[in-house]
Amino acid sequence: MSDAPPFPSPTKRWHTKAQPCGSPSRPEVSAKGKSVLITGGGTTGIGGETARYFAAAGAARIALVGRREKPLADNKAFIESKYPGVEITILSADVTKPGDVEKAFSQFAQAGKIDVLIHSAALIGPREDVTMADGATYLDAIQANLAGAFWVSRYLVQHGAADAVAVAINSWGAHLSLNNDFSSYCVAKMAVYRLWDTVAIANPNLSIFHTQPGVVLTELNLSVGGAESFENVKTDDVSLPASFNLWLASPEARFLRGKFLWCNWDIDELKAQAKELESGPELSIGLVGWPGYSDGKYSDLIISCGGKEHQVHKALEEHKQVVNLPDDDPNAVEIMVYYLYHGGYHAPQHTTSKDQIAQDNTSKPLSPEQLLVREPSTNSTLDGATADFTPSISGPRVISLDLALHAAVYAVAEKYAIHGLKNLAMRKFKRTATEYWDSNDFLEAVRGAYACTADTNRGLKDIVVTILHEHPTLLDKEETQLILKESNMLAYDLVMYARHSNPST
């Protein structure tokens, strides 16, 4: 049974305890083999209960991070008694201290990259009117919450898997102004939301979610006013956010990447709205009324490319009604326009693991033209509020589409002198190519890097030459040898790189 929503909700059903879709028994949300790190992982909190759900779902390793060792030890003992096959690690750390966070993350990652992060640690701060609160105390609380998210996100990027999931426990206070007593906490949570957004833009393979966990009688909540503060408030069971967090870590939830979600919302109803939610600004924090890329509001200019029209604004271009770009990659142009509005873009989500990609030798190699020019599908994925963008490429995702897409974006950005986009595309290309150098998809991207940019432009070329030099076994592959025969410049670059790297030879 579910209740009628007491707050505005995108779903008709409203939950106060664990949702069936987040049940650890569902194969779709299995955490088998996963390494999970949870801040605020003690016995009485949301993080602690979430750890139990991941253990029940088959996680291989779980790290419980917190300042106080006893609650962590108690939760470790409980989980090990029920799920003896799960390796539980206690990591004592204050998440506001970079040294503590670095030590905790690096220690846990010694046995393998972190697949899932649940950032639950937080500080309420002074419960006073903003105009009356002590300034130092007020600002210290904001600093503590923001510092925790900053250091946790930084070391997740360093020690997380390439496609790691991060669930940032947030609060309704980030987007609602209901009670000035918690203004310090609300300001902090809004800042934390934006911080994680910037992490997502810089690390497009991460899946980041923001959640309002419900009204749960945790130690943190009780500390700000005691149980009497909740006498007239309908509270939620701690199993509600725990089950929701488990579901968010599954592939089923990828359509909600970057969104702000209340754990009370019905998961089945959200799934039924997947296409609309993934392709629009709903459930995101932004400026209401701002004319976004996807809505075409107040548009007075059309950019046409590859049979697709982009309704934009003349502030972005010259004084024409229509600008045709017939010679450019349609997907790259779509990203270019989006970037001019939002300052970032995301490649499509992974549908295969790195091992699967490395073993996939059955696909027919693409020509440079096929690699760089693909027909756009009608399923454009745009988020007008968060700079979280997936280009309209149909079919299952493979890494070659990432690399080829970044190469094409780089070429378009160079052509139209959009230096920020050019640098961003190069960073994304380098990050993905470095991670997936041992796949056939990387070799296709080598073709693209040499086909889509001018001979004098070294940006992408230097990246692929460096990777080929660092991994000489790639030269044993028949496909690599074919590419070298096709591109005299690549062969020349490799010889010269080797010569300068080993001047005695």
The amino acid occupying position 331 is N
Kindly state whether residue 432 falls inside one of the protein's structural domains.
yes
Place of tokens 């004084």: 319
Picking from 279, 312, 343, the residue at the C-terminal end of a domain is 279
Over residues 225-250, mean pLDDT: 81
Q: Report the C-alpha gap between 493 and 462 in whole angstroms.
A: 8
pLDDT, position 218: 75
Whole-angstrom CA distances from 246 to 61, 196, 203, 253, 455 are 15, 19, 22, 10, 49
Over residues 408-437, mean pLDDT: 87
pLDDT, position 349: 47
| Residue-wise burial string across 105-128, b where 16 or more C-beta atoms lie within 10 A, e elsewhere | beebbeeeebbbbbbbbbbbbbbb
Over residues 1-26, mean pLDDT: 89
The per-residue pLDDT for range 163-212, each reduced to its tens digit, is 999 999 999 888 987 667 788 889 999 999 999 999 998 887 899 999 99
Same domain, 185 and 316: no
Is the pLDDT higher at 472 or at 287? 472
pLDDT, position 244: 98
Kindly state whether residue 132 falls inside one of the protein's structural domains.
yes
- 3-class SS at 259? coil
Same domain, 469 and 324: yes
CATH code at position 200: 3.40.50.720
pLDDT, position 35: 98
Do 72 and 41 form a contact (C-beta atoms < 8 A)?
Answer: yes
Q: Which two tokens stand for residue 392?
A: 């309209």
Is pLDDT at 386 greater than 60 in this prediction?
no
Kindly state whether residue 326 falls inside one of the protein's structural domains.
yes
Same domain, 198 and 322: no
Same domain, 314 and 232: no
Same domain, 275 and 307: no
Same domain, 371 and 446: yes
Same domain, 266 and 334: no
Question: Total domain count for the chain?
Answer: 2
Kindly state whether residue 310 falls inside one of the protein's structural domains.
yes
pLDDT, position 428: 85
pLDDT, position 167: 98
Same domain, 131 and 169: yes
Over residues 456-477, mean pLDDT: 89
Kindly state whether residue 1 falls inside one of the protein's structural domains.
no
Same domain, 124 and 273: yes
Place of tokens 């932004």: 286
Kindly state whether residue 12 falls inside one of the protein's structural domains.
no
List, in sequence order, every residue forming a beta bridge with 302; answer none if it has no partner.
311, 322
Picking from 246, 279, 312, the residue at the C-terminal end of a domain is 279
Kindly state whether residue 381 falls inside one of the protein's structural domains.
yes
Do 91 and 104 form a contact (C-beta atoms < 8 A)?
Answer: yes
Tell me the CB-side half-sphere exposure of residue 32, using CA atoms within 13 A: 5
Same domain, 398 and 252: no
Same domain, 369 and 267: no
For 92, the domain range is: 24-279
Kindly state whether residue 130 falls inside one of the protein's structural domains.
yes
Q: How many CB atoms lie within 10 A of CB 161?
A: 20
pLDDT band at residue 285, thresholds of 50, 70 and 90? confident
Same domain, 271 and 355: no
